[in-house]
Structure 1
Amino acid sequence: MDRIRIVGGHALEGTIAISGAKNAALPLMIASMLTRDTLTLENIPRVADVGMLLQILSHHGVDYSVDGRRPGDDPHASRTLHLTARDIVDTTAPYDLVAKMRASFWVIAPLVARMGEARVSLPGGCAIGTRPVDLLLMVLERLGAEIEIESGYVRATARNGLVGAEIHFPKVTVGGTHTALMAASLAKGHTLITNAACEPEVTDVADCLIKMGAKIKGVGQSTLEVEGVGSLSGATHSVVPDRIEAGTYAMAVAMAGGDVLLERASPDHLGSALEVLGQAGAAITINNEGIRVRRNGAGISPVDVETAPFPGFPTDLQAQFMALMTKAKGNSRITETIFENRFMHVQELARLGAQIRLDGDVAYVKGVKELQGAPVMATDLRASVSLVIAALAAKGETVVNRVYHLDRGFERLEQKLGRCGAVVERISGSN
């Protein structure tokens, strides 16, 4: 099993190209099942979750190809996928596939919308709480599907097709909004979605569906209207830059010090996170190339944050920000409101010398003068990268184990940091 070794104490200088957003790429790939035509997706990140989802889609009969590298191309350029679901050959998504990645449960929406039936295993995924699928199933029921749960599988049927309806989410849900948009696009009649998620990744999926022929109004707002169509066509769409990757590297620069341009990063997608970083002492400037983050030798200021749906502070940056606050000059408070059990990184940060006290969904962080390198263990995707951020400023050597979590969502992290002066290397094999 691979590990990542980091020697702390080196400022970051240079440019980091931000990849396409994994959290947009996955639902966009699933949306390819809504049409018999080819959906071409550009700016797809080279992360493990994309490869896993390709296996799952292939199981259902989706053919795919990946553009090869051309002469003169950047060897680290993102990929272009061509996905064609001409014939759905299997409407069952088995446990051994779905359990490996929770987002794959979303195949239930295009399967029911297009084929009138689906049998999908209840999901697995990161160990950050139960993350129930009840709101996703509520969407399908509102649109006329019959839902049964048996032997760990959800069976959804709509023999005569889905029918438009009013869908109100009692709480904001990204997965539920993805499900509603995909299913309603092929449902008969009008669908009204209220309290919808406004995350940039949701907007990206809606924009792509519109290119495919879906009739969606209110994109980017909490109220969406969808007029169902008989069929969707192929399209070409470029995935938005990954705001979580951009925010992660911004916090790495704030932690290690230095001056880095986050190329292609969108400030509109990171408003609250950039504001918080500014309060912590980083200098943020916006230009046509992306976002520039600088921090000189001045100390890190403590900031209290509370995670919230977009445009609030992202839950997917909570662990990274906690790592930054371990070196703040004072005390900070971090409140997690989205997922339970998302403080699994705390014990590993403590191995580096962090002082963090937990009280329910609140973490109280007392900044320390110095972190010390140590062997640590990644527990999930965002927790793993928080350990990397802490290690960049720790004295001595840190080895992060179980980095397959990192590979699920970060494209060539050690190379991107290494190009900017970090002493970081991947160690292959197991110990």
Structure 2
Amino acid sequence: MDILRIQGGVPIHGETRVYGAKNAALPILAATVMVAGTCVIEDVPELEDVRVMMQILEQLGARVRWSGPGAVEVDASSIGSTNVPADLMQRMRSSIFLMGPLLARFGEVTISKPGGCVIGQRPIDYHLHGMRQLGAKIDEQHGYIKCTARRLHGTSITLDFPSVGATENLMMAATLADGVTTIENAAREPEVEDLAQFLMAAGASIEGAGSDTVTIRGCSTLHGHSYCIVPDRIVTGTLMVAAAATRGEVTILGARPSHLGAIIQKLRDTGVRVDVQRDIITVKCEAPPRAVDFRTAPFPGFPTDLQAPFMALLTKSTGTGVIHESVFEARFKHVDELKRMGADVAVDMRTAVVRGVSSLSGARVTASDLRGGAALLVAALMADGTTEVDGVHHIDRGYQSIEQQLSTLGARIERVVIES
């Protein structure tokens, strides 16, 4: 069992480079199932979720390997199974992305209901409803879902909510369907657009990705190619918040500022200086940040994945801030752990009221989900004394060697293996 041990109260300084987005890498790796030939995906983060997706592809019969630092090579031509391993699906929710590609290529797929962080209801109903509209027959029994279709047919689909996962899954399925598919109220997140760019580089015909209406003209085959995924906006945002929280100065290289408008604006609203130059973001904070209010929302709104780290920043702000979590109803599980460190946070349903305190104290805390774990790291970096963060496996799902990246910026952080 690993823990992260942090000696807080040290401003972080320096330069660091952000790596590729996990939330772009996973659907793109799933999409390689539909490609006739070899794909090389570059700037892939070496994360637990990525390793699980690679294991799933291997067990389905694909040839998958790391071909260099951050580069994954996939040849899915030898896939012989359409049954996604249940044990691996339980480890990662994003395994649901294999539904659309396998169904489109083979006309069938069997999955179990996926696992992942417990942050509220994340039903796959949008995925299933859309697949039915494309012509799939779906049989649900004993926790397993079997989808079959002799051919998928283009149609018009309107999502009740702009679900990122459903938009991506349906877009992949429609890529090899007959005819034209239109997805209305589609998710606009940058990772959706990145998946579309990958598919188009393979020969797909997609228009409107990144807007609320996506049109896909089905094609018969996709060809192999190399593709570099977008930088991780959530990792970038977390590093920005950490710099502000410790009253440091950090320059982040290889970023995509256009994907971070909401977080840049909210940091500036707190009084933090944020300078942007093409793919470089510099964050500098010299005084305690001012409290602000915000509401999470689908892109381009404030990302739910940065709600918890930003809450940690507000725990030492001047004044009182109000946070409304509009995306997931159970995304305040980190609050009790922040309170163990001295934070003053009150939660009522989906609203949290954060009253700034003068100091936080180091404590033994436990991460119960990925982004809540990131919040505990931010709090630990600015707390007095030593904090030990348990549940590190959650953090490892979204942050690549986070202790090493923060150490290069001057943080006093180490990974410690505790013998059981």
TM-score by length of 2: 0.99
Percent of aligned pairs sharing the same letter: 44
2:281 to 291, 301, 316: 291
Alignment partner, residue 72 of structure 1: none
Q: Which letter maps to 1:131?
A: R
Contact map agreement 1:192 1:223 (CA 8 A) in 2? yes
Are the counterparts in 2 of residues 139 and 179 from structure 1 also a CA contact under 8 Å?
A: no
Q: Which residue of 2 aligns with 1:74?
A: none
Q: What residue number does 1:164 align with?
A: 154
Deviations 1:169-216 (A, max 9, x none): 011100001011100000000101111011011100000000011100
SS in structure 2 at match of 1:14: strand
Mapped contact 1:27–1:205 kept (Cα < 8 A): yes
Instruction: Report deviation, 1:94.
Output: 2.8
Structure-2 residue corresponding to 1:80: 71
Structure 2 matches for 1:295-314, cutoff 5 A? 295-296=285-286, 298-314=287-303
Matched, 1:106 2:64: no
The equivalent of 1:245 in structure 2 is: 235
Deviating more after overlay: 136-145 vs 282-291: 282-291
Find the counterpart in structure 1 of residue 401 from structure 2: 412
**Contact persistence 2:337–2:366 (CA under 8 A):** yes
Structure 2: distance between partners of 1:355 and 1:135: 37
Aligned-partner Cα distance in 1 for 2:357–2:159 = 42
Deviation at 1:130, TM superposition (A): 2.4
- How far off is 1:36 after superposition? 2.5
Q: Which residue number in structure 1 is paired with residue 43 of structure 2?
A: 43
Letter in 1 for 2:201: K
8 A Cα contact 1:32 1:83, kept in partner: yes
Answer whether contact 2:185 2:212 (CA < 8 A) is retained: yes
Deviations 1:139-168 (A, max 9, x none): 110100001100101110002x10000010
What amino acid sits opposite 2:158 in the alignment? H
CA drift of 1:138 comes to: 1.0
Q: Aligned to 1:280, which of 265, 270, 274?
A: 270
User: Which blocks of at least 5 consecutive residues in structure 2 are unaligned?
Assistant: none
CA distance in 1: counterparts of 2:208 and 2:53, whole angstroms:
29
Q: Which amino acid aligns with 2:413?
A: V
Pairing 1:378-397 to 2, within 5 Å after superposition: 378-397=367-386
Alignment partner, residue 349 of structure 1: 338
User: For the Cα contact (< 8 Å) 1:167–1:193, is it kept in 2?
Assistant: yes
1:217 aligns with one of 207, 210, 216: 207
> Within 1, Cα distance between the matches of 2:355 and 2:391?
27
Q: 2:172 aligns with which of 182, 188, 199?
A: 182
Runs of 4+ more than 4 Å apart: none
How many angstroms apart in 1 are the aligned matches of 2:353 and 2:379?
17
Superposition deviation, residue 289 in structure 1: 4.6
Is 1:136 the counterpart of 2:165? The answer is no
Cα distance in 1, alignment partners of residues 271 and 218 from structure 2? 49
Following TM superposition, by how much is the alpha carbon of 1:314 offset from its aligned partner in structure 2, in angstroms?
0.1
Where does residue 266 of structure 1 map in the other structure?
Answer: 256
1:366 aligns with 2:366: no
AA aligned opposite 2:186: A
Contact 1:8–1:395 (8 Å) recurs in 2: yes
1:90 aligned to 71, 75, 81, which one? Answer: 81
Q: Which residue of 2 aligns with 1:422?
A: 411
Native 8 Å contact 2:241 2:313 kept in 1: yes
Tell me the residue number matched to 1:227: 217
Question: Within 1, Cα distance between the matches of 2:161 and 2:397?
Answer: 27
Match of 2:193 among 159, 183, 203: 203
Cα separation, 1, equivalents of 2:357 and 2:233:
28
Contact 1:36-1:87 at 8 Å conserved across structures: no
Shift in Å at residue 258 of structure 1? 1.3
Rounded Cα–Cα distance in structure 2 between residues aligned with 1:404 and 1:329 = 33
The answer to whether the Cα contact below 8 Å between 1:388 and 1:400 also exists between their aligned partners in 2 is yes
1:150 aligns with 2:150: no
Distance in 2 of aligned mates of 1:209 and 1:337: 31
Q: Determine whether 1:254 maps to 2:235.
A: no
Separation in 1, partners of 2:146, 2:419: 40
Which amino acid is 1:209 matched to?
A: L
Q: CA deviation at 1:290?
A: 1.1
CA contact (8 A) 1:302 1:328 kept: yes
* 8 Å contact from structure 1 (residues 381, 405) kept in 2: yes
Ranges in structure 1 where 5+ consecutive residues have no aligned partner: 69-77
Q: What is the CA–CA distance in structure 1 between the aligned matches of 2:394 and 2:356, rounded to whole Å?
A: 27
**Secondary structure in structure 1 of the residue aligned to 2:397:** helix
Residue matched to 1:34: 34
Q: Which residue of the partner structure matches residue 75 of structure 1?
A: none
> For residues 279 and 289 of structure 1, what CA distance do their matches in structure 2 show?
22
Report the CA distance between 1:270 and its aligned residue: 0.3
Count of residue pairs the alignment pairs up: 420
Q: Once the 2 structures are TM-superposed, how far is the Cα of residue 396 of structure 1 from its aligned partner?
A: 0.3
SS in 1 for 2:300: coil
Q: How far apart are 1:105 and its partner, in Å? A: 1.4
* Letter in structure 2 aligned against 1:85: A
Separation of aligned partners in 2, 1:396 and 1:405: 23
Amino acid at match of 1:380: D
Query: By how many angstroms is 1:430 displaced?
Result: 3.8
